[in-house]
Chain A
Amino acid sequence: DIVMTQSPDSLAVSLGERATINCKSSQSVLSSSNSKKHLAWYQQKPGQPPKLLIHWASTRESGVPDRFSGSGSGTDFTLTISSLQAEDVAVYFCQQYYSTPPTFGGGTKVEIK
């Protein structure tokens, strides 16, 4: 199984400042057949199900604010919130869908400093 390791476990950022979450996969999730990175990011607020933010490592879902962006290579990925808003307080998970079983990172809790 591909192991997804997120860092940090939590971070506190001032309103309007940048938040950066890292996700590392134990093997490449870049497909040679379609040249796509099989990596997604989710946001989960308390008491709610996860919400898809980004797929293919950098494709933002419709309706997701453009302050959220994803980047990365075959094994190292980053979710960036360019200007943290109060409504962004949540836990963020990365997920690889390159191979079965799909696996998730342990989550990063984002709070307001």
Chain B
Amino acid sequence: EVQLVESGGGLVKPGGSLRLSCAASGFTFSSAWMSWVRQAPGKGLEWVGRIKRNTDGGTADYAAPVKGRFTISRDDSKSMLYLHMNSLKAEDTAVYYCTTDYGYCTDGICWGGFFDPWGQGTLVTVSS
């Protein structure tokens, strides 16, 4: 069974840092692109960023609101995905979901994908 389990959420003051983790199991993690998607309380879904598999370059892309503050990394040996969040703002308050991204590269062009499955999410609250 494919499973994604996030951890590391909590209450942090504005300007603080936090690292979220996502433990993956039930599939070949190293072959997968992975994304983080967040959902502010009572709001819609917002893509945060993705990291490609190493055979596609292993690079990460970020949404404009988090670029320069958030970093996505992966440890394929442990089937772990991470989201390092710095300079946190109140507007970063959300449930953060880890999800498998069905992106791929072909003929030198990379395409992002749909998301399946999703973890249960971890809540990050940024407040003084």
Chain B contact residues, CB within 8 Å of chain A: 35, 44-47, 61, 63-64, 97, 102-103, 107, 109, 111-121
Contact = CB atoms under 8 A, between A and B. Distances in A.
13 contacts: A40-B115, A49-B117, A50-B118, A51-B117, A52-B114, A52-B117, A61-B116, A95-B45, A97-B111, A97-B112, A98-B111, A100-B61, A101-B47
A48 B120 CA distance: 7
Counting chain A CB atoms within 10 Å of each CB, which of B61, B63, B115, B118 scores highest?
B115
Interface string A1-44: 00000000000000000000000000000010100001010100
A31 B45 CA distance: 24
Contacts of A99: 112
B113 A97 contact: yes
A107 B114 CA distance: 16
Interface of A: 31, 33, 38, 40, 42, 48-52, 55, 61, 93, 95, 97-107
Contact of A95 (B63, B115, B120): B115
Nearest to B45: A104
Contact of A40 (B47, B97, B114, B121): B114
Nearest to B119: A49
A38 B102 CA distance: 11
A38 B111 CA distance: 10
A102 B50 CA distance: 10
Nearest to A91: B44
B1 to A, nearest CB: 13
A104 B46 contact: yes
Contact of B109 (A33, A50, A101): A33
Given A93-B45, A99-B112, 11 more contacts: A33-B107, A40-B114, A49-B119, A49-B120, A52-B115, A95-B45, A95-B114, A97-B102, A97-B114, A101-B63, A105-B44
A67 B45 CA distance: 25
Given A33-B109, A49-B120, A106 B44 contact: yes
B112 A52 contact: no
Given A49-B119, A101-B63, A55 B45 contact: no
A38 B47 CA distance: 16
